[in-house]
C-alpha cells in the first residue's frame, strides 16, 4: 500500500477513528499491529511470514542475549541474529547479483559455468526493517538497551506501518518507549501531522513524480537524446529522488504524529549543504547515522590512524551503496561518496565543523552559494550511477557530453529544469527559515493556511 494512493487515505480514515476509540495502550498496540500487517499484506500477504520471522528471531535472541553474563556467549547470540537477518536479506535481494558477478569472474578465466538463477520477488521494505531489528540486538549486545518482555509491542516496533516500507529506520530506544505508552495525540501533534502529510504528499506527487516522468522518459533511451536534454534529465532525477523520498518521510512522520508517535527527521535541507560531510548529516539521516553507529564505528572509526579511517569510510559507503540495490551501479555510487568524504576529511585535517546551523548571512553569501553549488554538482553527478540501468548507459551518457550534440529545444528544457529546481529549493529555504518541515504552521491567518493546505491536498489527490 503506497502513501500516494487513494486506498491509503481510505485505510487511514478507518484506522485513526478506531485508534481513538481504544481505551488502553494494549488495545491500541494490537490495533496498530494488526493494521500494520494488513498494510504490508496489501502488497503481498505471503511476505508477512518474513516480517514475522525477523520479529520472532530478534525478540527471542534479545532476551537470550541479555540473560548471558559472558561476553563470548552474548557475541554468539549476536552472530546468530546477524546470520539470520542478513542471510534472509542477502537471499532475497542479492542472490542473483552475487551469482552473476561470480559468473563474470569465472568467464574471465575461460570457464563457462551454468549457475542456477532464481526468479526472486524482492519483499518491499526488507532493507529497512532488517536494519531496524539489527539495531535492537546490537544495542542489547553493547549494553545500551534492555530487551522488552512484551512481544506485541516489539512486533509493532518492527512493523509500525508509517515507517515500515521506506523508513525512517528507527532505534528501539526511541520508538519502543513510545509504543509502551501509546496515547492520543496532542492538538499540536494533530495539526503538525496534517501539515506534514499534505506538504509531503504535494512534494512527492506534484514535484517528485512529475519531475520523474520527464527523467524516466529521457533515461529510457539515453541514445535518442542530445546532450542538453541528458543534463536536464539528470537534474530532474536529482530533484525527483529528494522530493520523492523526503516527501514520503514527511507523510510517515505526519501519520505517526496523528497516532501520538514522534519519528525522527530523515531529511534536513540536504541540497543546501556546504560540503559532502554536511550532506550526509542532512540526507537520509536515519540510514547515515545507522551506518556510522553500526558499521563505521564497528570497523574502528577514526581511532586507528588516518589511513584506516579512510578505509573505514570507503567500506561504510560501499555497504551503503549496496544496501540501496543489488547492482554495481549502486556500489560505484557508494564508492564515489566514500572518495568524496575521504577527500573532505583530508582537507579538514581533524578540524571540527558545525553542521547543525547552515550559518547563512549577507556577509557570507558568496562563499555559501559557491560551496552549496559545488556540493550540489558533486552529488548530482553521483545520482547518474543511481539512475542508469547499466554501465553501457553511463559510457553512452558521458560520450554524449564529451561529444556535445546541440538541440533546438534548449529553452523548453531549461524552463522545465529551472522550474522544478526553483520549487524544490523554495521548499528547503522555507524549512530552513522556519526551522520546521511543517512550515505552513507559521502562517498566522488560519483561513489562508487551511485554504493553501486544502488546495495542495486537492491537487495531489486529483493528480494521483
Residue 99 CB-density burial (10 A; 0-12 exposed, 13-18 middle, 19+ buried):
middle
Residue 104 CB-density burial (10 A; 0-12 exposed, 13-18 middle, 19+ buried):
exposed
User: Active-site residues: which are they?
Assistant: 324
Angle between helices 71-108 and 48-67 (to 10 degrees): 140
Q: For residue 105, what is its C-alpha cell?
A: 569472474
Residue 68 CB-density burial (10 A; 0-12 exposed, 13-18 middle, 19+ buried):
middle
Radius of gyration of the chain (CA): 23
Q: Show the CA angle centred on residue 370, arms to residues 368 and 376, nearest 5°.
A: 100
Count of alpha carbons within 13 angstroms of residue 282, beta-carbon side: 25
Measure Cα distances from 75 to 69, 79, 140, 221 in Å. 11, 6, 11, 50
Spatial separation of the C-alpha atoms in residues 249 and 245, rounded to whole Å: 6
Grid-cell match 563474470, residue found: 104
Amino acid at each position: 500500500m503506497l502513501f500516494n494512493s487513494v486506498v491509503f487515505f481510505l485505510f487511514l480514515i478507518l484506522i485513526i477513528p478506531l485508534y481513538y476509540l481504544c481505551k488502553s495502550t494494549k488495545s491500541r498496540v494490537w490495533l496498530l499491529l494488526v493494521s500494520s500487517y494488513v498494510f504490508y499484506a496489501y502488497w503481498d500477504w505471503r511476505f508477512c511470514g518474513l516480517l514475522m520471522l525477523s520479529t520472532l528471531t530478534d525478540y527471542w535472541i534479545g532476551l537470550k542475549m541479555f540473560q548471558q553474563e559472558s561476553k563470548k556467549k552474548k557475541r554468539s547470540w549476536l552472530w546468530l541474529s546477524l546470520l539470520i537477518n542478513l542471510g534472509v536479506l542477502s537471499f532475497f535481494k542479492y542472490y542473483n547479483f552475487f551469482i552473476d558477478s561470480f559468473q563474470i569472474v569465472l568467464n574471465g578465466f575461460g570457464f563457462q559455468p551454468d549457475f542456477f538463477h532464481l526468479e526472486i520477488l524482492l519483499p518491499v521494505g526488507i532493507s529497512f526493517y532488517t536494519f531496524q531489528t539489527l539495531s535492537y540486538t546490537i544495542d542489547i549486545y553493547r549494553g545500551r538497551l534492555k530487551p522488552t518482555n512484551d512481544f506485541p509491542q516489539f512486533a509493532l516496533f518492527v512493523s509500525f506501518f508509517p515507517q515500515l516500507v521506506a523508513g525512517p529506520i528507527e532505534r528501539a530506544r526511541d520508538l519502543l518507549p513510545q509504543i509502551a505508552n501509546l496515547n492520543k495525540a496532542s492538538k499540536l501533534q494533530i495539526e503538525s501531522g496534517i501539515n506534514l502529510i499534505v506538504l509531503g504528499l504535494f512534494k512527492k506527487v506534484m514535484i517528485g513524480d512529475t519531475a520523474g516522468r520527464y527523467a524516466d522518459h529521457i533515461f529510457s533511451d539515453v541514445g535518442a537524446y542530445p546532450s542538453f536534454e541528458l543534463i536536464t534529465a539528470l537534474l530532474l532525477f536529482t530533484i525527483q529522488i529528494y522530493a520523492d523520498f523526503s516527501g514520503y518521510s514527511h507523510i510517515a512522520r505526519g501519520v505517526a504524529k496523528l497516532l501520538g508517535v514522534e519519528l525522527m527527521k530523515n531529511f534536513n535541507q540536504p541540497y543546501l549543504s556546504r560540503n559532502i560531510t554536511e550532506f550526509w548529516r542532512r540526507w537520509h539521516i536515519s540510514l547515515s547515522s545507522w551506518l556510522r553507529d553500526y558499521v563505521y564505528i564497528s570497523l574502528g572509526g577514526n581511532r586507528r590512524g588516518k589511513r584506516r579511517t579512510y578505509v573505514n569510510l570507503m567500506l561504510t559507503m560501499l555497504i551503503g551503496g549496496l544496501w540501496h540495490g543489488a547492482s554495481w551501479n549502486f556500489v560505484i555510487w557508494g564508492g564515489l561518496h566514500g572518495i568524496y568524504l575521504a577527500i573532505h576529511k583530508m582537507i579538514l585535517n581533524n578540524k571540527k565543523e558545525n553542521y547543525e546551523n547552515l550559518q547563512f548571512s549577507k556577509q557570507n553569501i558568496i562563499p555559501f552559494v559557491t560551496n552549496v553549488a559545488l556540493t550540489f554538482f558533486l552529488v548530482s553527478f553521483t545520482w547518474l550511477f543511481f539512475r542508469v540501468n547499466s554501465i553501457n548507459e553511463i559510457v553512452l551518457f558521458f560520450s554524449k557530453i564529451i561529444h556535445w550534440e546541440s538541440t533546438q529545444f534548449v529553452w523548453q528544457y531549461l524552463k522545465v529544469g529551472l522550474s522544478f529546481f526553483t520549487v524544490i529549493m523554495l521548499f528547503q529555504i522555507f524549512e530552513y527559515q522556519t526551522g520546521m518541515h511543517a512550515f505552513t504552521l507559521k502562517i498566522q491567518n488560519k483561513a489562508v493556511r487551511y485554504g493553501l493546505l486544502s488546495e495542495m491536498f486537492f491537487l495531489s489527490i486529483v493528480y494521483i
